Amino acid sequence: MQPYIFLLSLMILLCGCQPNKVSDKKLPNIVVVLADDAGYADFGFMGSNDLLTPHLDLLAESGVIFTDAHTSASVCAPSRAGLMSGQYQQRFGFECNDIPQDLGLSIKEETMASALKPKGYHTVAIGKWHLGLSDPYHPNERGFDEFYGFLSGARSYFSNKRDDQEGHPNAMLYNHKRIDFSGYLTDALGDHAVDYIERHKSEPFFMYLSFNAVHTPMEAKEEDLKKFEGHPRQQLAAMTWSMDENIGKVMTKLQTEGLAENTLIFFLSDNGGAANNQSDCGPLKGWKGNKFEGGHRVPFLVSWNRKIPSGQTFDGLTSALDIFATAAAVAEVDLPKLDGVNLIPFLTQEENGSPHHQLFWRKDKMAAGRIGLHKLIRLDDYGYRFYNLTNDIGETHDQQEDMNKDFSHAQHQLDQWEARLMAPHWTENPSWDTVTYEIHQALMENRAPHYTDPKQLRDYLLSQN
């Protein structure tokens, strides 16, 4: 009897340990929270003193704040195409923002959602899509089991007859069906995220929570506006507060359900702060739509309590392209080479240095490259600027002559990168091209631009006649 009792005891012990082993290997939930047009310095964890973001600040304390993180574009749609594909979007012709009715994120490209689904992930996209309006580019056709949001690039935060009519690209959808929502849209998106977690808490999930805040129109709830009465950036402060509040709802739900420990969370903006939404890019030059640091360097944080040590600041050169690569690595997805890098080894100090030594940007006649701490900006039919960001984060002192060897190397690296790209499938409309060109030329000359949007362009042209 003795050997039998010993064997039975051993089996019970092994069986008792087995659940813990399975739990240790459980794939993490993955949540990507995307703000829209938020400034580099417009969150408490990035140093803001006037915009209140208590929930994001707590999330930052639980993870890592990145100081030198960038999106792959300085405008909404191509930036999202890069994030969702893990590749420079110019590789498949998605370079510009003004997407034609019948085009979008190439159906030949694997998305983060479609890559995670075979591993057992349930997938949801909530909020702004802006990757194509027609059926082949709909989120449900691009790997997302569920979609709650709108297909276009911007809409009102309140329901109205124009945006919410059947067939309008701004209309709210649940999968393919038009739906009504009540109240404030930021709240509706947060509430749906909480509801989704409740319905899928027993399986690994990938949530892409894409707020349209703080993109224009500048609309906020009355109670939030009252909270910031007299604030010099009242509307932005109220809109940011509401977004933070709804991110807090999601964090609380994850905690309540015991999921926070094993949920990998990313937070970032889709590009730099816009010129028309009161945002603040801090010490950075430029804003949304241009190739200076203010256009594409963004607030970025990562939290995963189970794996990543908390309370870190990471200064290495990082890209939004890294989100796909990181998600694929932790979900054990075997993919062809992406342009992004798995960030986890850098955050657990298994690897040292920066995830990237160089990053590149291009849209129409504007292009740029980061080579280490050097920054090259090119404006076709005008010329170059070359900055040393070590002592000139504001990109004001051209170093072409003083650092000629480094300048030539950066030119070569940008040329090499562009040689692997394709021509864009579409471009911007002529008015925006003219505006963007003027802004780049003005910033390269360290002067104020004559105009920053098509209306100002029209007024300027009228004044010259």
Catalytic residue annotation: 76, 130
- Distance between first and last Cα of the chain: 106
45 vs 24: CA distance, rounded Å: 31
Q: How far is CA 236 from CA 51, 241, 370, in A?
A: 8, 8, 30
The greatest distance separating any two alpha carbons of the chain, rounded to the nearest whole angstrom, comes to 106
| Structure tokens, 301 | 């944080």
Question: To 5 degrees, how large is the angle CA 456–CA 462–CA 465?
Answer: 145
Q: How far is CA 339 from CA 82, 326, 344, in A?
A: 9, 11, 16
| Structure tokens, 100 | 């034609």
Question: Edge to edge, what strands does the sheet with 300-303 contain?
Answer: 177-178, 173-174, 146-150, 122-128, 205-210, 29-35, 263-269, 300-303, 64-66, 312-314
Assign 3-class secondary structure to 175-208: CCEECCCCCCHHHHHHHHHHHHHHHHCCCCEEEE
- Four-residue CA torsion sign, 422, 426, 430, 431: negative
Q: How far is CA 319 from CA 107, 169, 194, in A?
A: 23, 29, 28
How many other CB atoms sit within 10 Å of the CB of residue 146?
19
- Strand-pairing partners, residue 371, are 358, 374
How many other CB atoms sit within 10 Å of the CB of residue 394?
16
User: Closest Cα to residue 420, out of 8, 107, 92?
Assistant: 92
- Four-residue CA torsion sign, 348, 353, 357, 360: positive
Spatial neighbors of 54 by CB under 8 A, at least 6 apart, are 44, 244, 248
H or E segment to which residue 412 belongs: helix 404-418
Confirm if 384 and 378 have CB atoms less than 8 A apart: yes
51 vs 47: CA distance, rounded Å: 9
